[in-house]
Structure 1
Amino acid sequence: MPEGTRVYAIGDIHGRADLLDKLHDKILEDARHAGVQRHVVVYLGDYVDRGLDSKGVIDRLLDDPLPGFEKVFLKGNHEDAFLKFFLEPEFGRDWKYYGGLETLMSYGVKALPLKDEPDAFVAARDELARNFPASHLDFLGSLRLWHEEGDFYFAHAGVRPGLPLEEQTGQDLMWIREDFLASDMDFGKVIVHGHTPEEQPVQRTNRIGIDTGAYITGILTCAVLEEAECRFIQTA
């Protein structure tokens, strides 16, 4: 990292607003003792689905929980799926099986599509649209696919090996898994990512993975990057 900069990168939150509150408190305490001029927080995406309070997560992110920090919000595959449901309600047939129902419930949707009937998905989408705050839609529409700081490149899922960073596609940045995880290639920068849950943060020469399955483990992880140091803050 450039001298004078400390970056906090937060992994997949997945509707656990309670854990996000705890992690923000720990980050504020950590930053209080930092001798740097610039604090940056990068959220790696997957704010919604699986956990029970997706709406609460976005409410908190919009409420400036880390005053004085520069903030970067990346887009995960679950935000990609959420937005697709708005445009194509029939996509709910897939989405509901990886956390979509929990997200609909968090926004007060009563017409939950428990059966795979097209009309049920349309009714749920229409009720969601009525309940959905405009500020949340603006937030989802503003999400970025990647971010660079010093020798680090931040993306939700990872990058396509063999493809220059400036040529990476949104599909790979949000959805890639095995081809990226199995690669020992030098990507030009260290990739900081979430998307694939592990029991502990993963630190390799070419990547740092910080999805620790918060929605089920209760452990939300943050990587702290300063100069040549990497360490982790967790909720448990």
Structure 2
Amino acid sequence: MRIYAVGDIHGRADLVEQLQHQIGQDAAEHAGKELHLIYLGDYVDRGPNSREVLELLSAKPPVGLVSHCLMGNHEQAMLNFLDDPVGAAQWLKYGGLETIESYTSDGWEIDPDDVTGMAMALRDALPEHQLAFLKGLELYQCFGHYLFVHAGIRPGVPLKAQRADDLLWIRGEFLNSAKVHPFVVVHGHHVGDAVEVHSNRICVDTGAYATGSLSCLILDGADRLRMDTREGGPFPLEGEAYAHG
């Protein structure tokens, strides 16, 4: 089995297309293996092309790969806004406006005081297959000794008892924990200069929307590699030896 795990995208359709091409080339060299492509969430907001990103991810994956798309906190916030625009208006302050702009035609003026109108415009412009894609996103995936999730887990809590809010939003308590988890946790949500490897977790978020570097972790047996849209790859991934319960 060979697994590709992609970090936070945030509206950079250009980087998704580039990385998919790189992954497709690498996957073709390992066609005899079971190949999985996992997106770790946060597809929308901040960058300019959220609509195009969702269109790419809701389409068929590169040939030969099985695709798994996980929910990020930004996708959940977008869905909350569609259901309750007044109660979830905070979404507009951390990238939601850019997402709405990607769905509206040129010349459409956003009234920042009319959140209900913005939600209606977004809902009218959002294709049904993209809405179904958003509602069907998974909270996590497990393969072998690895757990793939957007933000992380609450240390010490069994996987089945984890709260969705923690899986999508947790930061300090998870990031600062040296506890050995039942799995090595592969996640995004926390921007780093490079793919960060710790004994109990690997973070794949390299701030693509601002840096132009969309990163991918490759797991194949005991091998851990990385590739990205800035440096290419795959390259061996250095870091702490991993531990799991």
Is TM > 0.5 for Structure 1 vs Structure 2?
Answer: yes
Query: Which residues of 2 match residues 97-136 of structure 1 at below 5 A?
Result: 97-108=93-104, 110-114=108-112, 117=113, 120-136=114-130
Do residues 229 (structure 1) and 227 (structure 2) align? no
* 2:132 matched residue in structure 1: 138
Tell me the equivalent position of 1:84: 80
Number of the residue aligned with 1:68: 64
Higher helix fraction: Structure 1 or Structure 2? 1
Q: Distance in 2 between matches of 1:92 and 1:169?
A: 19
TM-score (norm 1): 0.94
Instruction: Please report the RMSD computed on the Cα atoms of aligned residues, expressed in angstroms.
Output: 1.2
Alignment partner of 1:27 out of 6, 23, 34 = 23
Q: Distance in 1 between matches of 2:59 and 2:133?
A: 12
Q: d(CA) in 1 for partners of 2:209 and 2:223? A: 28
Task: Show the counterpart of 1:149.
Answer: 143
Q: Following TM superposition, by how much is the alpha carbon of 1:63 offset from its aligned partner in structure 2, in angstroms?
A: 2.1
What is the CA–CA distance in structure 2 between the aligned matches of 1:216 and 1:180, rounded to whole Å?
25
Paired with 1:107 and 1:94, the residues of 2 have a C-alpha distance of 19
TM-score norm. by structure 2 comes to: 0.90
- Structure 1: 5+ residue runs without aligned partners? none
Counterpart check, 1:167 vs 2:165: no
- Once the two structures are superposed, the pairs formed by residues 169-208 of structure 1 within 5 Å of their partners are 169-208=163-202
Shift of the 132–153 alpha-carbon distance from structure 1 to 2, 3 Å rule, reads same
Q: Which runs of 5+ in 2 are unaligned?
A: 231-245
CA contact (8 A) 2:171 2:190 kept: yes
Distance 1:91 1:66, change over 3 A: farther
Distance 1:209 1:94, change over 3 A: same
Partner in structure 2 of residue 12 of structure 1: 8
Aligned to 2:42: 46
Of all paired residues, the percent bearing the same amino acid is 41
Q: Distance in 2 between matches of 1:168 and 1:74?
A: 15
Deviation at 1:92, TM superposition (A): 5.1
